[in-house]
Amino acid sequence: MKIVILERDSVGEDVSVDCLKELGELAIYHNTVKEEVKDRIKDADIIIANKAPINEETMKDASSVKLVCEFATGYDNVDLEYCKEKGIRVVNVVDYSTAAVAQHTFALCFYILEKLNHYDNYVKSGQYAAQPRFSNFDIPFTELDGKVWGIVGMGHIGRRVAKIAEAFGCKVIFYSASGNSKCTEYERVDLETLLKKSDFLSLHCPLSDKTRNLIDLEALKKMKTSAILINVARGPVVNDEALYIALTENMIAGAGLDVTGTEPMQESNPLSKIMDSNKLIITPHLAWASIEARKRVVEETYKNIQAFYEGKERNVVGNT
């Protein structure tokens, strides 16, 4: 079968995809934009994608496609109904980035909480060497111990974050946007309670009609002025314009973002105007991208295709 990788760069050039050559004729494209999808998949049997749109418009001439593999967990770039209609199976990779995203959640938290940018610059500027005191703590910071860590989305990543937060001495509470959470280890609360009680609020939920703009201006107004917001979920879960207002008007203490409303982040995004790294840090959607996680994406995709060949269902999404 012919296997087409549309976005090879999404797993990084430092990670090999050679194992996929064992499974068929491999066509590799480093990146693919919407206008290029149709031509590149027209004779494919298996498509491997990440963000490239896989829908009726791009697939209508691709009569041989039998399987769509996501180089990711998310599959909002795929029209599941169309694939179901055409008998095309869609599979993803699950739980590959849990450790990486949980790790990055706390990296963002500590960067803001302990004002690490400020203190690093203080030392490197020569101010520390020039002072007579052994220490400097001119911008106060607090401990995690004894604080409330709120979570939206208690899946694999949310649960890992909860365990780490507990290890730091936090009380963990969570809100289930879908209402379907089976988690009983931690206290489940409504959204208003979560917003009002959380000293730290981290987002780990999928993007859906229930989570889009979940953190809007009204939500931010309900948070503690000392609270730190962390979004490692999907950008549109937070309203960027509202967050800009909340940060510039000191409604909350700070935010750590790995995602924004559009990606890459647009210059028109008001958050791009905030240069104070003690208040806001933004990383370019890399929380998931540890070397180990990216290797797992390729390995799990290999296993998904192998399972398909063997007539087994593995990581099938939707009703395809």
| Tokens linked to 59 | 């697939």
Handedness of CA 126, 130, 133, 136 (dihedral sign): negative
Catalytic residue among 57, 185, 218, 263: 263
What is the number of other CB atoms lying within 10 angstroms of the CB of residue 41?
27
Catalytic residue among 36, 114, 118, 285: 285
263 annotated active-site: yes
CA 207 to CA 118: how far, in whole Å? Answer: 33
CA 88 to CA 137: how far, in whole Å? Answer: 59
Catalytic residue among 234, 294, 296, 300: 234
195 neighbors 222 (Cβ within 8 angstroms) = yes
- Pick from 106, 220, 218, 114: which is nearest to 168 by CA? 106
* Contacts of residue 269, Cβ cutoff 8 Å, sequence gap at least 6: 240, 260, 261, 262
CA 258 to CA 233: how far, in whole Å? Answer: 8
Residue type, 164: I
Give the rounded distance of the alpha carbon of 275 from its chain centre.
23
71 neighbors 301 (Cβ within 8 angstroms) = yes
Residue numbers annotated as active site = 234, 263, 285
